[in-house]
Amino acid sequence: MFDSIRFFDILIACFLVILLSPLLLIVVLLIKISSKGPVIFCQQRVGKNDVDFTLYKFRTMYVDAERQSAITIGNRDSRITRIGYFLRRYKIDELPQLYNVLKNDMSIVGPRPELRKYVAIYTKEQRKVLLLKPGITDYASIHYRHESELLATQADPDAFYIKEILPVKIQLNNQYASKRNLRVYFVIIFNTLLSVLK
């Protein structure tokens, strides 16, 4: 059966890779010049049907910095490199996930894939979100556009994420699942672009 969303995933991913190739090359050079370490950051995330996959991002932190904490806190997290602040602000660090889309690990639109440590505490009801293919953007990405700044105001950012943010993200993703169609797909893409430009 023809999957229109998968068709547009491939179409959009290929178009963006070609269109943004000069930018991608510049980012690669800036990361190499600004700090030691690989250009691409690889991390295991939980995908559709509870299967782990390798997620790709441009590296925005110093090497091994993620071992200190799974989440970043505020705009001035000392683990983030100079160029990393810029890449994160405009979501440029997420562009290597276009490769994940082409590999069919991810969609352009879908729940942001979580670390296994967070999925392990999902309730039975919350685990329904794992029936969806994860995506580069979703309702939650727009709603929590400034998530790291919000976490910076908390005494225990990890606990706040688990108790307050994660349940809302899952609720928003289930909302997408119940109305998943091409119109909603493009509405989320459009609103994501607006939120980044703002």
Which pLDDT tens digit goes with each residue over 91-113?
A: 999 999 999 999 999 999 999 99
Q: Which pLDDT score, from 0 to 100, does residue 130 have? A: 96
Q: Residue 69 pLDDT > 80, yes or no?
A: no
Report the pLDDT value the prediction gives residue 56, as an integer from 0 to 100.
98
Please tell me whether the overall predicted TM-score, pTM, comes out greater than 0.75 for this model: yes
Comparing 27 with 79, the larger pLDDT belongs to 27
Residue in the block written with tokens 């989440």: 71
Q: How many domains does the chain have?
A: 1
pLDDT at res. 24:
97
Q: Where are the alpha helices (DSSP H) in 20-96?
A: 21-34, 82-89
Under the phi-then-psi rule, with left for phi > 0, alpha for psi from -120 to 50, and beta for the rest, what region is 46?
beta
Please compute the mean of the pLDDT values over residues 153-161 and round it to a whole number.
Answer: 92
Residue 179 structural domain: 4-197
Average pLDDT, the chain: 92
**Closest C-alpha among 178, 154, 174, 149 to residue 164:** 154
